DNA sequence: TTGATAATGAAAATCATTTTCAATAAGGTT
DNA sequence: AACCTTATTGAAAATGATTTTCATTATCAA
């Protein structure tokens, strides 16, 4: 029985990976949040749903999801990665980030994403062809000093 | 004697930081390369120039440079950060990255940066005002699967 | 020249992530 | 429905980049 169920399971199957309980649980967690969760955040929620799930599996699953293009990983510079569904029905629209290099706080913004769309699509298509690269998604980060840290100087 | 010498020293001074030997050495190294160097890469070059420099100081200095807006830090997902001067006379023009989520290889590109400029400037200015945030620089990363990893599937 | 203190280096500590390996489970095949 | 191959899992140990500690040194304003 091939390619049944939700999109991410089809994707797993297409790549020859199995659809397991931990993978379902982790996908559910990602679908139910709008935040950037760390591996440990996800692990804690997962254990809550099924105590047998191990942290190692959470790491492996997130990595796998990144490789099949259903999850995106962020590194904001605080030493731990964050993960988010690339296409999330519950999530607010496509957004980007302001990152404070001092306190490491993140501000999400979704202004200009509309105006950005055309340029990014065009760039994505050209780069994709030029380098024979399958592009899953993109991120834009602005780095600087936030309001609070400016004050504290 | 205030605000003498190169720009980065002025910047240090403005923030109340001292201009020390390790900081000079590390700045020289960053100026002489066009690559994304890890802290250890920089440490090895630094030790070559002055054996008394410690790895700890390299980390501290790079962090400081990021906070005063003269260096930018990249996290490509391989567990170690890379650093690069924000404004580098020897460096190729402003560029962005294609990151392979499988083999972690990075492709630099500088196509479209001209077309991008206007939108990013406008976005930067608006965000900066809206959130009272001093923006030092931005990055754009495209994530996906590279030519080689597609073949290996 | 001097004094206050920011900055440094070495060693130890931290902590997110990865590896190892034996046990388990998914899913195609009888 | 039982079976087999092998992908997947969990626990514990290992890894490795980065940070902390703390006594010493060096910067720079006075």
Of chain A residues 76-135, which have a CB less than 8 A from chain B?
Answer: 76-77, 81, 98, 100-102, 107, 109, 111-112, 115-116, 119, 122-124, 126-128, 130-135
Choose among A15, A72, A131: nearest Cβ to B98: A131
Report the percentage of chain A scoring pLDDT > 90: 78
- What would the two tokens of residue B90 be? 């020897």
CB half-sphere exposure, A112, CA atoms < 13 A: 20
In angstroms, the first-to-last Cα distance of chain B is 62
Q: What Å value separates CA A113 and C1' D4?
A: 52
Beta-carbon separation of A101 and B153 below 8 A: no
Digit-coded pLDDT (tens) for B84-135? 999 865 556 788 999 999 999 999 998 888 888 889 999 999 999 999 999 9
Query: pLDDT for A45-101, tens place per residue?
Result: 999 999 999 999 999 999 999 999 999 999 999 999 999 999 865 556 789 999 999
A143 → closest Cβ in B131, B136, B153: B136
Q: Return the closest-CA partner of residue B8 out of B123, B88, B102.
A: B88
Alpha-carbon span A153 to B16, nearest angstrom? 10
Q: What is the pLDDT of residues B61-79, one digit of tens each?
A: 999 999 999 999 999 999 9
């Amino acid at each position: 029985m091939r390619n049944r169920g939700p999109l991410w399971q089809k994707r797993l199957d297409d790549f020859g990976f199995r659809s397991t309980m931990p993978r379902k649980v982790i996908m559910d967690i990602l679908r139910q949040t709008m935040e950037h969760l760390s591996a440990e955040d996800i692990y804690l929620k997962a254990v809550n749903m099924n105590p047998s799930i191990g942290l190692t599996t959470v790491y492996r699953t997130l990595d796998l999801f990144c490789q099949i293009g259903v999850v995106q990983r962020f590194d904001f510079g605080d030493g731990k990665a964050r993960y988010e569904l690339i296409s999330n029905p519950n999530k607010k629209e496509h957004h980007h980030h302001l990152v404070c290099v001092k306190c490491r706080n993140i501000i999400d913004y979704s202004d200009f994403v509309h105006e950005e769309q055309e340029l990014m699509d065009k760039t994505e298509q050209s780069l994709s062809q030029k380098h024979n690269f399958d592009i899953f998604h993109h991120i834009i980060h602005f780095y600087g000093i936030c309001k609070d840290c400016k004050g504290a100087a």
